[in-house]
Amino acid sequence: MPADEPRGISRRTALMGLMAAFGAGCGRAGFLAANLPASFGAYRRHSDMAYGDHPLQRLDVYVPDDAAPDRGSAPGQTAARPLVVFWHGGRWSFGDKADYRFVGAALTELGCVAVLPNYRLYPEVKIAGFMDDAARAGRWAAAHAGEFGAAAHRLYLMGHSAGAHLAALVTLDSRYFAAAGQAAPAIAGVIGLSGPYDFLPLREADVQDMFGPPPNYPDSQPVNFVHAGAPPMLLVHGLQDKTVSPKNSMSLAAKLRAHDVPVTLRLYPKLTHADTVAALSKPARGRAPTLADIDAFIRPLPSS
């Protein structure tokens, strides 16, 4: 592996980092440790709802119990709950929403309705396929917000690692929401955890293939689509991340600021790649204030 490989995403280091962050000797045990406390949260989960015909075009919706406070609106007002769509990481080629129940549970603690989609993965599809799924899931969430006590105008797109790439690119590159001929949802903000946003050159054969041919490589980079009027963003990254370089978040933040787009950049000196999302699980909350960062970002009511 080249010495400067951290600008890209290594499948082996991504998976090993996630397991290590959960303090387990194997992946399943790690996710079980993260998800067991989440099973007893004050929320209801609606599982495997379809947003398309493919078996992977399914999502889970986490709804806070009625007694859970909506910390961004007036007492007793639930219709304005924030709606957060979270895409899992996995180098665009592995991962499953079921492993991230702890994320859905954590977001409901903030009074949010959380939507966790699966999406088609490489090599079955390339960028056009998984980005189409990102747009479909985002439109689905906005269209069904009211059914779960959320407000479509408080829609936040969020992800970890490759999922953060999906959230940023589908927001910034208007072609994906426009592809189906429907109006794009109003996005109140983007939350990216350890995301790749500016990672050219592509050196690994499978990444070159999923984002190719070479003339199309620039189209895979969210940083290339920053524009004035883009939604505010929260970018969280660990400075010990050896899987996705922190320079990705720094570069995107700088580009956003250059276009007068509000951005909050949180860089944590001791965090690795998976720590930013692992810190949403109750066993690892002490690793990083990720949940508090998200709470501070979504708490203000956006303009309707």
Q: What would the pLDDT profile of 163-182 be if each residue is shown by its tens digit?
A: 999 999 999 999 999 986 67
Would you say residue 248 lies in a domain? Answer: yes
Classify residue 304: in a domain, yes or no. no
Q: How confident is the model at residue 17 (pLDDT cuts 50, 70, 90)?
A: very low
- DSSP reduced 3-state for 85: strand
d(C-alpha 103, C-alpha 97), whole Å: 10
Q: Alpha carbon of 241 to those of 77, 95, 236: distances in Å? A: 40, 19, 11
* Position 162 confidence tier, pLDDT thresholds 50, 70, 90: very high
Residue 39, pLDDT score = 78
User: Is residue 199 situated within a structural domain?
Assistant: yes
Could you report the per-residue pLDDT of 96-105, keeping only the tens digit for each?
A: 999 999 999 9
Q: What is the pLDDT, as a whole number, of residue 190?
A: 98
Interior angle at CA 62, CA 57 and CA 67, nearest 5: 165
Q: How far, in Å, CA of 233 to CA of 181, rounded?
A: 26
How many folded domains does the chain comprise? 1
pLDDT of residue 127: 98
43 occurs within a structural domain: yes
Q: Is the pLDDT of residue 25 over 70?
A: no
Decide: 276 and 238 in contact? Cβ < 8 Å.
yes
Residue 36 placed within a domain: yes
pLDDT at 26: 39
Residue 90 has pLDDT above 50, yes or no: yes
Q: Does 228 fall in a domain?
A: yes
The answer to which of 44-58, 63-77, 165-179, 217-231 has the lowest mean pLDDT is 63-77
Which pLDDT score is estimated for 139? 97
Q: The domain that contains 61 carries what CATH number?
A: 3.40.50.1820
pLDDT of residue 28: 60
Q: What is the mean pLDDT of residues 260-271?
A: 98
* pLDDT above 80: residue 72: no
pTM for this model (two decimals): 0.89
- Residue-range definition of the domain harbouring residue 272: 5-298
- What mean pLDDT comes out for the span 81-104? 98
- Predicted confidence (pLDDT) at residue 159 exceeds the cutoff of 70: yes
Q: Examine residue 303 and state whether it is found in any structural domain, yes or no.
A: no
Report the C-alpha gap between 30 and 42 in whole angstroms.
22
Asked whether residue 90 is assigned to any structural domain, the reply reads yes
